[in-house]
Amino acid sequence: MLFDYAPILILFGLVLGFAVSNVLISELLGRRRKAIGKETAYECGMGAIGNARLRLSIHFYLVAVLFILFDVESLLLIPWAATANEFAQAGVGTTVFLEVVGFVLVLGVGLAYVWRKGGLSWDR
């Protein structure tokens, strides 16, 4: 049984050895230079000002989660669009199309609900 996984274990060993050797070689042969700004945090080219524990409104997180939710669900339409022609040739194109229309309607109703409740504005 273990013999079946030998190529995967060998590849894992090679990758692990490569990573460890690169870190060790970099640590041993790399130059060490002290610089004033080297140890400071880099954040989008702007200096770190203020407290890192800034409290944000819960509405900001709600908008972010809703964006991810609708973004991922809309990505589910891409495989359907890529295979729509195959469904049509198999004779189930109408059924699949109606299922996708139902899916988009559910997404639309959810988006309309969130929009009406004001869930898409985090600055309130």
Q: What is the pLDDT of residues 44-60, one digit of tens each?
A: 766 667 777 777 777 77
Query: Can you name the residues that pair with 27 across neighbouring β-strands?
Result: none
The answer to whether the beta carbons of residues 76 and 103 sit under 8 Å apart is: yes
Residue 43, pLDDT score: 66
Adjacent-strand bridge partners of 46:
43
The pLDDT value given to residue 19? 97
Task: Count CB-CB contacts under 10 A for residue 103.
Answer: 15
Stretches where the chain sits below pLDDT 50 are none
